[in-house]
């Protein structure tokens, strides 16, 4: 037998069980640990074809010893699979060339999965739609995406559900957020904003559903929502508003912006909200206090993000991004490297990394402490418009102007 082995695991109960059996036969001393590391879960049906799905393959002596597991990148247990592969190799005394692949497509060695939900023609719409926004569910098992043609898709390991159908005159979707502990999605767009809540397996709608155009939104907690209004592509008057969605009530005060609100971010642990105005300013506000802190900019800012602990702010400006220290209220670093407008920013869940997406069609990862570029990805999604980290911090999703969404493993 070769020093190592490969296991291709399909998205089904039987395939997972077959993989365990193969590993246990090869390494009997691991049998007692495997079941606790990879808990057996109910069967799910694969929504894409995996290589050698559910079949096992042992490489010959010429191949480098490797242990690989193919799973759905939206699978709830993906982080557990990802973290435990190295442990199995170490215990088995195999050459530590760990690879946990999430699908059949490998680009430059990174595992990824490409969705084309917003790129598929229908009887009503026959064009590619810019994916303006996306968000992972709090457990990382679901990805919701929204686009310029008014479509909102919810995708998990069982398939895809259209929450809002697209049509020739559907208003664009600009922002999406998940409530932290409830199966509820908040959607904002040219129509205003609404909530979609799942009860007994059925998605129902709530909220005003008719409102001034919403450019951006951010969830503060299960009850509070920050909304930014105004026109997306031109400077028109708007407001930064806080809503209590438990009773669909707008709270006071609302902060008026003569040129509208372009982007919003929140740090729920500190009840901190940041927004970019249409007049080259970024404001950060502790909603328990009266006056926001202001950071003037040389140009308009299409995107911004707050670190989870609320101590850092990332702002997209022209071809670069700025990092601010909010404890000292000063600019700390400038992240340079993109060859086009930076249009999306996102912090990793632990706050150590910030991701930037650009019209140069790349996504770059940066170390927050040093400003050093850590990685550079280029997927076939066109200009990048939105980014979102999964809660496990291992996966990143990006949407672009070709109507495509990519999810990949960043480690």
Nearest to 164, CA basis, from 198, 172, 143, 156: 172
Tokens, residue 251: 């709270």
Q: Which residues on adjacent β-strands are paired with residue 320?
A: 317, 336
- The answer to whether the predicted template modeling score (pTM) of the entire model surpasses 0.85 is no
Report whether pLDDT(75) > 70.
Answer: no
Lowest mean pLDDT of 20-29, 244-253, 280-289, 358-367, name the range: 20-29
Q: Tell me how far the alpha carbon of residue 31 is from its chain's centroid.
A: 35
Q: Which residues on adjacent β-strands are paired with residue 405?
A: 115, 399
Rounded distance between C-alpha atoms, residue 175 and residue 183, angstroms: 17
Q: Tell me the per-residue pLDDT of 161-207, one tens digit each, with 9 for 90 and over.
A: 899 988 778 899 999 999 999 899 999 999 999 999 998 888 999 98
Lowest mean pLDDT of 101-115, 151-165, 207-221, name the range: 101-115
* Average pLDDT, integer, range 372-387: 94
DSSP-based three-state secondary structure for 85: helix
Rounded distance between C-alpha atoms, residue 8 and residue 6, angstroms: 7
Report whether pLDDT(49) > 50.
Answer: no
Domain 112-409, architecture per CATH: 7 Propeller (2.130)
Query: 135 or 32: which carries more pLDDT confidence?
Result: 135
Q: Tell me the per-residue pLDDT of 222-280, one tens digit each, with 9 for 90 and over.
A: 999 999 999 887 889 999 999 999 888 999 889 999 999 999 999 998 999 999 999 89
Q: Tell me the per-residue pLDDT of 78-136, one tens digit each, with 9 for 90 and over.
A: 444 444 433 333 333 333 333 333 332 222 334 556 777 787 665 444 456 899 999 99
Query: 330 or 208: which carries more pLDDT confidence?
Result: 330
DSSP-derived secondary structure for 154-191: EEETTEEEEEE---TTPPPEEEEEE-SSSSEEEEEETT
Question: Do residues 204 and 217 lie in contact, with contact meaning Cβ atoms separated by under 8 Å?
Answer: no
The mean predicted confidence, pLDDT, of the chain is 77
Per-domain boundaries in the chain: 6-103, 112-409
């Amino acid at each position: 037998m070769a020093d190592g082995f490969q296991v291709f695991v399909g998205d089904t109960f039987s395939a997972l069980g077959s993989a365990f059996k193969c590993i246990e036969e090869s390494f009997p001393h691991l049998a007692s640990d495997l079941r606790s590391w990879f808990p057996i879960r109910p069967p799910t049906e694969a929504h894409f074809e995996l290589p050698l799905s559910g079949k096992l393959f042992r490489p010959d002596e010429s191949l480098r010893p490797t242990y690989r597991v193919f799973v759905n990148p939206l699978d709830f247990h993906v982080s557990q699979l990802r973290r435990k592969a190295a442990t199995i190799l170490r215990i088995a005394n195999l050459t530590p060339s760990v690879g946990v692949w999430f699908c059949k497509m490998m680009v430059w060695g990174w595992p990824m999965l490409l969705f084309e939900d917003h790129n598929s023609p229908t009887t009503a719409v026959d064009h590619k739609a810019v994916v303006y926004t996306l968000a992972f569910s709090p457990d990382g098992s679901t990805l919701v995406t929204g686009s310029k043609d008014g479509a909102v898709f919810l995708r998990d390991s069982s398939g895809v559900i259209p929450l809002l159908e697209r049509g020739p005159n559907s208003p664009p979707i600009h922002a999406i957020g998940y409530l932290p502990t409830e199966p509820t999605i908040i959607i904002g767009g040219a129509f205003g904003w609404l909530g979609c809540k799942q009860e007994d397996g059925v998605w129902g709608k709530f909220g005003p559903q008719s409102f001034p155009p919403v450019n951006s939104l951010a969830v503060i907690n299960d009850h509070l929502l920050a909304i930014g209004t105004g026109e997306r592509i031109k400077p028109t008057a708007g407001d930064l508003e806080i809503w209590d969605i438990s009773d669909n009530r707008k709270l006071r005060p609302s902060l008026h912006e003569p040129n509208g609100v372009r982007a919003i971010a929140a740090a729920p642990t500190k009840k901190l909200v940041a927004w970019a105005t249409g007049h080259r300013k970024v404001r950060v506000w502790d909603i328990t206090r009266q006056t926001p802190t202001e950071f003037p900019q040389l140009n308009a800012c299409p995107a911004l993000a707050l670190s989870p602990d609320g101590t850092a702010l990332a702002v997209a400006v022209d071809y670069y991004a700025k990092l601010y220290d909010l404890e000292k209220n000063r600019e700390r670093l400038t992240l340079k490297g993109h060859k086009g407008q930076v249009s999306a920013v996102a912090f990793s869940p632990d706050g150590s990394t910030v991701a930037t997406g650009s019209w140069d069609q790349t996504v770059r990862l940066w170390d927050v402490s040093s400003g050093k570029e850590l990685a550079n990805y280029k997927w076939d999604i066109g200009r990048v418009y939105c980014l979102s980290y999964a809660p496990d911090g291992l996966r990143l999703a990006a949407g672009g102007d070709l109507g495509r969404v990519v999810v990949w493993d960043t480690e």
